[in-house]
Structure 1
């Protein structure tokens, strides 16, 4: 049995912009040395949004730490409120997006993808569909 573990005060970690959406996040993969999952904490100010996307292999877990959150899930792209303290599981092929289209201040999400496939995201819909 191993006693190896990592700990991080997320509020003290550096927030970096996403290379795709520019949304600030803390990459817990690199900060904690995660090997079997890809967790990140996302900070969405009013007007911020992730890309509407799906995954090739990753199932994703979304949890609203501070909200309420706003999320689009499914091909219809309908936006729903997600209450603080709510968890959402999204399978790989289902389109999804978290966004803050409100004036309610910052929304904070914990998002965990597994397996830890790097750069697994792709557009919600194929261009030739």
Structure 2
């Protein structure tokens, strides 16, 4: 296949429209729709100071978390850890997780999160007896 024959989609993420998550209200760019993804569910999340995503686990999706601009903060199970800019973390479906910006930093923390397989509405409460949701 030559470069002229290659099919691909591209988007300048900072120019794409941001929308709030239906559950947490956290602003994000849905790269699934922007790029026409069919085998993964990528989104770029913008966490302003005080923002946090819902604490959740997945049914079948494993997720890749990458700190584009940080530092980042990630709760995995009972542990909250600092995540340096440029760091990638894989979280299996059954592990509860949450990204948050509970720092004194005045800037947005920006994360690329990619879930696969591309299952919609895959988020679950962190435990079977919890009332939290993704």
TM-score (norm 1): 0.94
Name stretches of at least 5 consecutive residues in structure 1 with no aligned partner. none
Where 1:40 maps in the other structure, the secondary structure is: strand
Q: CA deviation at 1:80?
A: 0.5
Where do 1:96-111 residues align within 5 Å? 96-104=97-105, 105-111=107-113
Q: Deviations over 1:8-57 (max 9, x none)?
A: 00000000000010000000000000000000000000000000000000
Instruction: Decide which of 55, 58, 63 is 2:61's aligned counterpart.
Output: 58
Specify the alignment match of 1:118 in structure 2: 120
TM-score (norm 2): 0.91
Name stretches of at least 5 consecutive residues in structure 2 with no aligned partner. none
Instruction: Decide which of 10, 26, 29 is 2:29's aligned counterpart.
Output: 26
> Within 1, Cα distance between the matches of 2:52 and 2:17?
19
Aligned length: 126
> Within 2, Cα distance between the matches of 1:67 and 1:106?
8
> Within 1, Cα distance between the matches of 2:97 and 2:15?
28
1:43 aligns with 2:46: yes
Q: Where has structure 1 moved over 4 Å in runs of 4 or more?
A: none
RMSD: 1.1
